[in-house]
Structure 1
Amino acid sequence: MGHEVTRLKFSRRDRRDFREKVQACLDALATLLENAAEIPSPKMGMEIELNLVDENCEPAMVNAAVLADLAGPKYQSELAQFNIEINVEPRPLAGANLAALEDDLRASLDLADARARESGGRLAMIGILPTLREGHFEQKWMSSDTRYTVLEQQILAARGEDIELSITGVPLPGRSTSDHLTTMTHTILPEAACTSVQLHLQVSPATYAAHWNAAQILAGIQVVLAANSPFFAGRALWHETRIPLFEQATDTRPPELKNQGVRPRVWFGERWITSVFDLFEENSRYFPALLPDLTPEDPVAVVAGGGTPELAELTMHNGTIYRWNRPVYDPTDGRTPLRLENRVLPAGPTIVDTLADAAFYYGTLRSLARSDRPLWTQMPFAAAEENLRVGARHGFDSVLQWPGNRAVSPQDLVQRTLLPMADAGLEELGVDAALRDKYLGVIEGRARAARSGSVWQRECVAARERAGQSRDSALRAMLCEYLERMHSGEPVHTWSW
């Protein structure tokens, strides 16, 4: 997100100076990218956002105590006191590194879970915590980090009024009517309900546009396969409710600006790109600064002197625009300072499911980005955006658009088209055959069974309600059972209810 924010207020002059500094950062970035090296062996990385719950599977506001016990850069705070984040060290994809990543992730989660239990909590790796209620979204439950307080103040000030959340769900199995959420909130804390897996990939400037365009095409099928967020505030909403909830919870636009076509800060985009610079430039051109905090660095002078600038203002601004596939400037690697951050996936249900989602994404992305006839030349950009929304709402019941004026089911698209691409891409990246079979086999099993984490959650709650349980009791019991299965390690498509 950029350097640490320590100021609570900004002046009009701060905003003007920040805009000028961002432009200087863009000028420096343009020069830097001209000389950036190719990447012979790209590295992947991962961030996982997690929830903390107590013995009754209710939110546990203990992240400060848990993080104090963990005391390492791998573990970070998130927006709410019931969240933490785990960062996975970047590594190449080749060989057995996916298996090593699974082992490292399991060890990190086990350690964090042990520390959470010492503080009266435990970890829940799930897209939206089903036991969250509207009463949990009060400013007092925000993590004690200045940047979160300032960000909330700036979003609400830009909006000029409270935030409206309005989502119409899809009926639970056996039901004919849908739940509907309509509420107003005076805080951005509902954003904290959206816990995700963020996949990072080093990308060279020359191939960045192809990778980003390919990632946009994959977003819709990603949410179908990995959907794990069907409940929020006691309502059964979309299969992947994170998508509309995150869009609405951080929206700086009152209705009048929406009607004018002003772009949202949670943004899919509006066109295929030809350069990574397009993305950074659009962010600067279209979005006012929320955190106009300045540093003394002269980025143009640093580049002129042969150095790698921090570009702190550009990074800060970029971190407050939540593209589903976001460009990231990372000065820690002066030779290849760009990453592509995929933000579509929810957390969970299991570690093996998470690694399967990652393998499918990296492999398919590789094949699509290196295709002789790119799919984005055959597909309207609006179709990719519509696939994301339809897939998030309906899951495996979606009908997706694909090049050639084809309307396809997710099951057919995955099994007939994308899994062979994923396997070929992983093979080209040097991933061991046994690991390709293991992780892509999980994706194939999910597609064959049409069974994601969301499908399991919805079926489980529907069955418990038919047996006479209230919605609250059904959600709590489902989550407690989910946590047991999460630790079992069996992929979600094999879960019964």
Structure 2
Amino acid sequence: MGEDVGRQEFTRADRTKYRTKVRRCLDAFERMLREAQFEFDRPMTGLEIELNLVDGDNDPALRNAEALAAIADPAFQTELGQWNLEINLAPRELDGAGVSAFEEDVRASLNAAERKASAVGAHLAMIGILPTLRLEHMSGHALSVNPRYELLNDQILAARGEDLHLAITGTERLRVSCDTIVPEAACTSTQFHLQVSPEQFPAMWNAAQAIAGVQIAVGANSPFLLGKQLWAETRIALFEQATDTRSEELKAQGVRPRVWFGERWITSIFDLFEENVRYFPALLPIVSDEDPVEVLDQGDTPELAELRLHNGTIYRWNRPVYDVVRGRAHLRVENRVLPAGPTVADTLANGAFYYGLVRTLAEEDRPVWTQMSFSAAEENFHACARDGMDAQVYWPGLGHVPVAELVLRRLLPLAYEGLRRWNVDTAEQERLLGIIEQRCTRRQTGSDWQVAAFRKRFDGTAMERGEALRGMLGSYVEHMHTNEPVHTWAVD
């Protein structure tokens, strides 16, 4: 969720000062892009995974502070809800067996964390939305103990001027109101980072946007929320609504939401940061002492703290990232589309598919985004979130096709070619992309398995819904620990 903050109240003068400062940061950023002051010697990738904590009955365990203390690993940190944790992996290159190295690191870290957290009655679950969450968990007492989360909660609700209303219609219907942003904590995601040059960024971001829907269809893992079966990837609808600062009147006026697919293909990373500044008021108007233009004039690298903080409160599904490491600036595409889980192997297969596919699409002579409208990409995105493997999507040259057919016939070969260009070992390509192929062939994602396992318990039996969901989640966690990909799981 970003850097910790401690300030609790803001004045009108604070907001005016912040607006001026963030625009000065934008000017400095534009100058840096002109002068090519970015590191790109070795393109690195990164990985973040948000996790859930459950107790011995597979209910949410609101114990992340105790779990963090027990785990005692700086790679882990809190997230918004007390049943959330996040693990951040050290960046690495993809070439050779780099993807396997990621997988080994994640498995070792999670296994060690599970052993330690279990001592305080908390167990790790990699799943998009905990199916055992209940409305009683959606209140302020479930916020993690961190001033940033309380401040975000206060600022988002103040901007809305009213309670949060969730309305999602899928297989079943959900209609609830909440007086906090805690429902956002129900969404746990996997974030893939890809370091790129300023020149490469537009093509990589456009490619990521074009395939976002397909990613969801093959990686869906969030069919349940508050006991209801909704979308294949309910996270998408939930996150869009849980962080919406707009009243109904502002929605009717066409004001843009803070969880945003976007509205156009781009020609520069500057387009995205400039849109952020132009369209969105500050949520956390905290001003640093740095003058970014003076820092540039001195030959140093500015932190651009205000621009980065503002960017962190606008939740694009593919977010632009400016960062400074050891005094050198770099740019990343942060892919935020996918849910956590079901296994580490599935997660890295999703990563291989993403990294390979965007590489090939970004380097094509006639890019896919020159052949389809941006609105078609957004329609694909929501269709895949709603329908998963059953979605029909638009693709240039093919028209509307079943998403599994698109992946098998057109996109997997492109992903293989992209991984070859990243110099990923052939055996790694075949193992990881083979997982994606089998998911499409067998039509079993994490979401599909969850629904089937729940229905096996609930339909035609006397088992109560909550009991069926807990039983399904218990079986899910057992399978998760085997690290066998979800397409191999028996519905038990």
TM-score range, shorter chain: over 0.9
Decide which moves more: 396-405 or 186-195.
Answer: 396-405
- C-alpha deviations, 1:290-317, integer Å up to 9, x for none? 0001110011111111111111101110
- Compute the displacement of 1:71 (Å): 2.9
Unaligned runs of 5+ in 2: none
The one-letter amino acid of 2:336's match is R
1:5-84 to 2 correspondences below 5 Å: 5-34=5-34, 35-37=36-38, 39-84=40-85
Report what 1:135 is aligned to.
Answer: 136
- Compute the displacement of 1:467 (Å): 3.9
Partner-residue secondary structure (3-state), 2:320: strand
Q: Tell me which of 462, 467, 479 is aligned to 2:473.
A: 479
Structure-2 separation of matches of 1:453 and 1:127: 9
Indicate yes or no: 2:450 matched with 1:457. yes
Structure-1 separation of matches of 2:3 and 2:286: 9
Do the aligned residues in 1 keep the contact of 2:166 with 2:238 (CA within 8 Å)?
A: yes
Report what 1:305 is aligned to.
Answer: 298
Report what 1:176 is aligned to.
Answer: none
Structure-2 separation of matches of 1:195 and 1:79: 10
Structure-1 separation of matches of 2:176 and 2:11: 32
Structure-1 separation of matches of 2:322 and 2:124: 31
Structure-2 change in CA distance of 1:37 and 1:294 (3 Å): closer
Partner-residue secondary structure (3-state), 1:431: coil
Structure-2 separation of matches of 1:58 and 1:314: 39
The one-letter amino acid of 1:97's match is G
- Compute the displacement of 1:233 (Å): 0.2
Do the aligned residues in 2 keep the contact of 1:212 with 1:325 (CA within 8 Å)?
A: yes
Structure-2 separation of matches of 1:30 and 1:489: 45
- C-alpha deviations, 1:202-255, integer Å up to 9, x for none? 011001000000000010000000000000000000000000000001100111
Q: For the aligned residues, what is the CA RMSD?
A: 1.1
Partner-residue secondary structure (3-state), 1:444: helix
The one-letter amino acid of 1:25's match is C
Report what 2:187 is aligned to.
Answer: 194
1:215-226 to 2 correspondences below 5 Å: 215-226=208-219
1:221-236 to 2 correspondences below 5 Å: 221-236=214-229
The one-letter amino acid of 2:304's match is L
- C-alpha deviations, 1:170-225, integer Å up to 9, x for none? 2xxxxxxxx11001100000000000000001011001000000000010000000
Question: Alignment length, in residue pairs?
Answer: 489
Do the aligned residues in 2 keep the contact of 1:3 with 1:312 (CA within 8 Å)?
A: no
Structure-1 separation of matches of 2:52 and 2:4: 24
- Compute the displacement of 1:404 (Å): 2.9
Structure-1 separation of matches of 2:120 and 2:3: 30
Structure-1 separation of matches of 2:38 and 2:251: 41
Structure-1 separation of matches of 2:385 and 2:430: 27
The one-letter amino acid of 2:76's match is Y
Indicate yes or no: 2:388 matched with 1:387. no
Decide which moves more: 210-219 or 71-80.
Answer: 71-80
Report what 2:391 is aligned to.
Answer: 398
- Compute the displacement of 1:72 (Å): 3.3
The one-letter amino acid of 2:94's match is L
What's the TM-score, normalizing by structure 2?
Answer: 0.98
Structure-2 separation of matches of 1:403 and 1:109: 41
Partner-residue secondary structure (3-state), 2:90: strand
Partner-residue secondary structure (3-state), 1:86: strand
Indicate yes or no: 2:322 matched with 1:321. no
Report what 1:295 is aligned to.
Answer: 288
- Compute the displacement of 1:347 (Å): 0.2
- Compute the displacement of 1:336 (Å): 4.9
- C-alpha deviations, 1:400-441, integer Å up to 9, x for none? 011136111111111111111111000011100000000000
Partner-residue secondary structure (3-state), 2:325: coil
Report what 2:97 is aligned to.
Answer: 96
Structure-2 separation of matches of 1:138 and 1:319: 23
Structure-2 change in CA distance of 1:45 and 1:361 (3 Å): same
The one-letter amino acid of 2:356's match is G
Partner-residue secondary structure (3-state), 1:51: strand
Indicate yes or no: 2:367 matched with 1:366. no
Identity %: 57
Structure-2 separation of matches of 1:20 and 1:257: 24
1:276-295 to 2 correspondences below 5 Å: 276-295=269-288
Structure-2 separation of matches of 1:307 and 1:145: 32
Report what 1:423 is aligned to.
Answer: 416
Structure-2 separation of matches of 1:307 and 1:438: 44
Indicate yes or no: 2:331 matched with 1:338. yes
Do the aligned residues in 1 keep the contact of 2:4 with 2:146 (CA within 8 Å)?
A: no
Structure-1 separation of matches of 2:223 and 2:132: 12
The one-letter amino acid of 1:421's match is L
Structure-1 separation of matches of 2:391 and 2:260: 21
Partner-residue secondary structure (3-state), 2:174: strand
- Compute the displacement of 1:333 (Å): 5.7
- Compute the displacement of 1:37 (Å): 4.6
The one-letter amino acid of 2:50's match is E
Q: Which of structure 1's runs of 4+ aligned residues deviate more than 4 A?
A: 333-336
The one-letter amino acid of 2:82's match is Q
Structure-2 change in CA distance of 1:366 and 1:333 (3 Å): farther
Do the aligned residues in 1 keep the contact of 2:391 with 2:403 (CA within 8 Å)?
A: yes
The one-letter amino acid of 2:181's match is I
Decide which moves more: 303-312 or 231-240.
Answer: 303-312
